[in-house]
Amino acid sequence: MTLLVHDVTLTYPDGDGRLTALDHVSLEVPAGTLTAIVGPSGSGKSSLLAVAATLVTPDSGAVVVAGRETTRMGAAEKSALRREKIGIVFQQPNLLASLTAVEQLQVMAHLSGRPSRQLRRRALELLDAVGLADKADKRPHQLSGGQRQRVNIARALMNEPTVLLVDEPTSALDHERGAAVLDLLVTLTRERSTATVLVTHDHAHLDRMDRAATITDGRLVQNPDPVVAA
């Protein structure tokens, strides 16, 4: 199992008490499959993504990434694991205004210590995979919203993550462009065998996902049956 969240509870300070954001949540995501997490505002979606990304340590439970339990790791060990194994696609692309598309990807990976020519080759290959081979030398202001989101996705794949975590990737896109980005995520998940989790408040396009789980008030119910056959 590439990503396993097991019986996780997460609380935040709330006045004199604690607010339970995740209430005994369990989630299994095999390699090469995409699970959508659907739920209303405030239900715990971002908290679950942050826990799966090892950015937030839960009060209890286990988070296993690529076979390694993470909740008792130190900060340095966790950040190394994140760099090597986890790709994160945030809602807003956060691209650097002065860099071209290919440079956005190269910057992301320069810490990996690989030769820069090799990184550039990989960056160009990924831009091709997301349909932007001809935009490699464009800066963010020269790209559409959908194209920026594709650069964002390609950047998250630079370090060949085994877990891909995606937060509301279509919220800034119209229906058609949103559907195209979701199709791309499904294709990349298959081709690169990532365990992909996609958070959304939108029930549209769920038929494209392998599985869907619903979160309400921090409680997750995972549909045991695939939405469509993988």
Ligand X SMILES: Nc1ncnc2c1ncn2[C@@H]1O[C@H](COP(=O)(O)OP(=O)(O)OP(=O)(O)O)[C@@H](O)[C@H]1O
Closest listed residue to residue 226, CA positions, set 38, 36, 48: 36
CB of 8 to ligand X, least distance (A): 12
Q: Binding residue for ligand X (CB under 6 A) from 4, 25, 38, 45?
A: 45
> Which of 42, 67 has the CB closer to ligand X?
42
Q: Which tokens belong to 4?
A: 């396993």
Near ligand X by CB under 6 A: residue from 2, 33, 35, 47: 47
Q: Name the amino acid, one letter, at 71.
A: T
> Does residue 34 contact residue 198 with C-beta atoms inside 8 Å?
yes
**How many other C-beta atoms lie within 10 A of the C-beta of residue 68?**
11
Q: Based on CB atoms, which residue is closest to ligand X, 8 or 154?
A: 8
121 interacts with ligand X by CB under 6 A: no
Stretch that binds ligand X, among 39-47, 59-67, 107-115, 186-194 (CB under 6 A): 39-47
Structure-token pair, residue 31: 């390699």
The angle that helices 116-129 and 101-109 make with each other, rounded to 10 degrees, is 130
Residue number with CB closer to ligand X (43 or 189): 43
Judged by CB under 6 A, which stretch of 44-52, 103-111, 139-147, 154-162 contacts ligand X? 44-52
Angle of CA points 80, 85, 87, to nearest 5° = 105
Site for ligand X in 184-213 (CB under 6 A): 201
Q: Which residues lie near ligand X (CB under 6 A)?
A: 12, 19, 21, 39, 41-47, 201
